[in-house]
Amino acid sequence: MKAIGRSVPKKESFDKVTGVAMYTADKVEARMLHARLALSPYAHARILSVDTSEAKQVQGVKTILTGDVSDVLIGEEIRDRPIIAREKVRYYGEVVAVAVADTEAAAKRAAELIRVEYEPLPVVNSPVDALRQDAPILHDKLGEYENEGRAVPVPGTNIASVNRLRKGDIDKGWKESEMIAENTVWFMPSDHAAMETRSATAEIRPDGYVVIDTSSQVPFTVKKYMANYFGIGSGWIVVQTPLVGGAFGGKSAIFLEPIVYLASKAVGGRKVKIVLTREEDMASAPVRIGLHATVKLGSTLDGYIKAAHITYRFDGGAYNDKSSDVAKAAVIDCSGPYGIPNLACDCFTLYTNHGFAAAFRGYGHSELTFAMERAIDALADKLGMDPWELRFRNAAVPGDTAPTRDLLTPSNLGDIKTCLNRLKILSEWEGWQVRQIDAYRIRAKGISCFWKNSSMDTDASSGAIILFNPDGSINLETGVVEIGTGTKTVLAQILAERMRMSPERIHVKLTVDTRTTPEHWKTVASRGTLLAGRAVLKAADDAIRQLLDIAACVLRADPEDLVLENEKVFVRADPSVNIEVREICYGYVYPNGNAIGGQIIGRGHYIQRRMNPLNPVTGEGTPGPEWNVGAQAVEIEMDTRDCSYRLMKAISVNDAGKVLNPEGARGQVMGAMAMGLSFANREGFDYNEQGMVLNPTLRDFSVLRYDENPSYIVEFIETPCLDAPYGARALGEHGMIGMPAALADALSRAAGVRLNQLPLYPETVWRARMGYSHVFL
């Protein structure tokens, strides 16, 4: 009956294969109103006038909202973003007005009839542009914005935040270096493209409750910020989230909620629903961050890296949202999984006239890893050293310090060297790295190595409640949103293991309602298993204590002599004395009718110990609980005539700490690998010179389809993390982190030129081979 280490199917499996699984937009109510957005066709422009007269004539229209409706500025780090654009628009697709009507069709027609007059302004189209002396300034009031204190903006520039990190003595590091390699990489912002587009409803009840249903990873954050932004007591805000149809970080930003709230307020509190179209979801809603980065490495001739200087220029888009925090996460782990003694990192998060960046699966890590790994490959080239060997020599080990100066231990650091060793065998690295198949086709392999800590709020917490049913089964409630990762099922396994019962006897509540569900900080950072898992264990212990107490009365034994197993409580030394859990979990009734106890309710919470924020100048601090690590490889086959290529094989070796649900874990890693490959191979917004997005559809922004996938090899090693339930390390994001770098490495080897730009369209490879440089450099 082991619950841990078993491939328990997702609790919501049958809901999902029969179509009864409900997502936010599936709720249809007769009296609901519908909202549609009017979006800016310019990336940067002054709003001269907004004429809603024609739109208001459309039959069924209730109201039209423009920027005038609220002067509240929002943002989690810097409050720089109007809910509906005022005075200026700063990106293509920014919301300029909202139409609310009886039907979606009427709202759409009205939105189309809103006439906005603009005066176009020059655009900032890349982070490099943003730093130019003569760059147009996006936010002239940057110095006046409210700031949570974690971002360090530079008023009068386009710099939303500067973060620096210094470790060791960089000058000494350069002096000890006999070889220097410098490499620059870049890629444009791109999209999460979850299959469910974002949607939300809001209603203000007559008694004052604000009820929001939203397709979000962060219902508790929505509650907190709605309270802040609109001055509502947080108890009056109820946020509900059903199943979420893919999120990947994109649904951890607050975006639609304040819009529908204002819409509902404008129509006397009636329920208003908004569902984004795919085009809106891509162009208007938050995107994935872009990057331009330079990494300079210094090493000895035998490949020991002595110094690294990393410069990031992140394309955070028009508003800061979480981009400065994503950037900070990239600073925290800037060295990659290498024990580099002397480090300097300068990180600029820049305002550009692109969509604003939210979290994306990996939170800055596939970004930093691409920059660092490409530099490692450049160094290996210069040293004439095998890139695997160079990585192995420099792999961080317990006793080294992280860039944040945290001491690395066997518990807080996964085993990089074992991952690399397994990768070497699985990829047959020593056999060949590049080989000619026939006159035109070349096969090549590439590798990469990564680590990731999470960048959590220092008070990120999670809670769990367990309630017994009369049949002895348990209902489990946690604040983790089920976004597809199967975390709720894994939590049931964790609970079952502690309660010594079958996970099939645990019923999980799949939806979140912030009024009754215990808070879980955010369903991000692959931290559901650690934070909620620890809370569940505590709740289990709480319930076990109560069960043993009541069993002790009934069995007339000391609770310390009792054990729980298989839904029975036994006297340890004499198992013939026992009682079924179902006889005591709802109170025990004596034969004469007297009763004791009551429904057993267990509760638990967890907060990560001893974390502290980063010093913005030195980068010192404790950002998260542990560094999970892995090593990856990609094999491709390229046609040298046109540089088209196929993905043949992708390998990931991850240190999972402990695999709790093998099939689930494999699926998480494979899915993330596919996403990383898709990103590196073809994903990115195509901005024209005016900053307009030319490809906001799934036709033009294509993602990997069925037959484009390589064969996947996923292997886990298990070095337990002592803080985590059963030793399990984070897993949900890690399959993707090294994929772009490994793909670029393989293709570079096949093409014979160093490829540093994503996505790696065949044309990009061809241009590099022909020696054409990119327009943005």
Instruction: Give strand pairing partners of 237.
Output: 210
Judged by CB under 8 A, which of 1, 2, 22, 399 binds another protein?
A: 22
CA-to-CA separations, 125 to 134, 514, 554, in angstroms, rounded: 13, 40, 74
Measured CA to CA, the distance from residue 499 to residue 270 in angstroms comes to: 45
Buried b (16+ CB within 10 A) or exposed e, 583-617: bbbbebeeeeeeeebeebebebbbebeebeebebe
Count other Cβ atoms within 10 Å, centred on residue 16: 12
Which pair of tokens denotes residue 291? 């990057």
**φ, ψ (nearest 5 deg) of residue 97:** -160, 160
Q: How many CA atoms lie within 13 A of 753 on its CB side?
A: 16
The least CB distance from residue 668 to ligand FES, in Å, is 11
Measured CA to CA, the distance from residue 146 to residue 343 in angstroms comes to: 32
Amino acid at 21: A
3-class DSSP assignment, residue 85: coil
User: Pick from ligand FES, another protein, none: which does 20 bind, CB < 5 to 8 A by kind?
Assistant: another protein
**How many positions of this chain bind another protein (CB under 8 A)?**
57
The least CB distance from residue 196 to another protein, in Å, is 5
Which pair of tokens denotes residue 547? 């069960």
Please identify, using beta-carbon distances, which residue of 708 and 723 lies nearer to another protein: 708
Closest by CA position to 296, among listed 306, 282, 285: 306
The least CB distance from residue 710 to another protein, in Å, is 9
Judged by CB under 8 A, which of 229, 248, 255, 521 binds another protein?
A: 248
User: Pick from another protein, ligand FES, none: which does 670 bind, CB < 5 to 8 A by kind?
Assistant: another protein
User: Pick from another protein, ligand FES, none: which does 403 bind, CB < 5 to 8 A by kind?
Assistant: none
Measured CA to CA, the distance from residue 672 to residue 706 in angstroms comes to: 15
Judged by CB under 8 A, which of 82, 242, 403, 486 binds another protein?
A: 486
Binding to another protein (CB under 8 A) within 660-719 occurs at 663-664, 666-668, 670-671, 673-675, 697-699, 703-707, 709, 711-712
The least CB distance from residue 263 to another protein, in Å, is 20
Task: Check: CB of residue 348 under 8 Å from CB of residue 340.
Answer: no
Please count the helices (runs of H) and the strands (runs of E) in the chain: 19, 32
Question: H/E element holding 219?
Answer: helix 219-230
Count other Cβ atoms within 10 Å, centred on residue 133: 5
3-class DSSP assignment, residue 267: coil
Judged by CB under 8 A, which of 15, 346, 513, 620 binds another protein?
A: 15
Judged by CB under 8 A, which of 484, 503, 630, 691 binds another protein?
A: 484
Please identify, using beta-carbon distances, which residue of 129 and 196 lies nearer to another protein: 196
Which residues contact ligand FES by CB under 6 A?
A: 195, 246, 484
Measured CA to CA, the distance from residue 655 to residue 537 in angstroms comes to: 23
Please identify, using beta-carbon distances, which residue of 643 and 674 lies nearer to ligand FES: 674
Which pair of tokens denotes residue 522? 């955010």
Please identify, using beta-carbon distances, which residue of 183 and 197 lies nearer to another protein: 197
The least CB distance from residue 671 to ligand FES, in Å, is 8
Judged by CB under 8 A, which of 5, 6, 21, 458 binds another protein?
A: 21
The least CB distance from residue 730 to another protein, in Å, is 16
Instruction: Give strand pairing partners of 493.
Output: none
User: Pick from ligand FES, another protein, none: which does 712 bind, CB < 5 to 8 A by kind?
Assistant: another protein
Please identify, using beta-carbon distances, which residue of 246 and 720 lies nearer to ligand FES: 246
Please identify, using beta-carbon distances, which residue of 568 and 666 lies nearer to ligand FES: 666
The least CB distance from residue 701 to ligand FES, in Å, is 13
Residues that bind another protein (CB under 8 A): 7, 9-10, 12-23, 25-26, 28, 193-197, 243-248, 275, 277-278, 483-486, 663-664, 666-668, 670-671, 673-675, 697-699, 703-707, 709, 711-712
